[in-house]
Amino acid sequence: MDRAKGIDVSRYQGVIDWAQVAQAGYSFAAIRATIGDYYTDPRFAENWQGARDNGLLVTAYHVVKPAIAANAQMMRLLDALADRQPDLPLALDVELKDGCPEQQVLDVTRACLEILTGEGLRVI
């Protein structure tokens, strides 16, 4: 079974040679856009454009912070996306409970999904 190769990037990878990524056989990139309601990855726009300019399909992901209201978080993500249209569904990265009860993590994540799908966006 053939599978598409993808890459997940954020500022931590530094400056990416997107031509080299494409030549290595990667077909898509998931690019970190935001964290909570307080952080936009400083390389988000650069990585989005670099991946797209080199023929990769692109999407963005948001790191959910369960202690922060979903609406504020999704506004941060939507602001970072601006007029960019992802080729693939957006992704939510839910890694930490941040000391919150499990139900709160579920509720905030569900609310984030509802906001994005209400905006007509596909999400995984």
pLDDT, tens digit, 9 for 90 and up, residues 66-124: 999 999 999 999 999 999 999 999 999 998 888 999 999 999 999 999 999 999 999 98
Model pTM score:
0.93
From the candidates 8, 53, 79, 114, give the one annotated as an active-site residue.
8
Instruction: State the pLDDT at residue 1.
Output: 65
Residues in contact with 29: Cβ distance below 8 Å, sequence separation at least 6, in sequence order: 6, 7, 8, 9, 21, 47, 51, 56, 57, 58, 59
Residue 8 bears catalytic tag: yes
Asked if 107 is an active-site residue, the reply is no
Closest listed residue to residue 48, CA positions, set 91, 94, 85, 3: 85
Active-site residue, selected from the candidate residues 2, 83, 95, 102: 95
Q: Where are the beta strands (DSSP E) in the chain?
A: 5-9, 26-35, 39-40, 57-63, 91-93
What is the per-residue pLDDT across 45-62, written as a single tens digit (0 to 9) for each?
Answer: 999 999 999 999 999 999
Contact 124, 61 (CB under 8 A): no
Mean local confidence (pLDDT), 13-38: 97
pLDDT of residue 95: 87
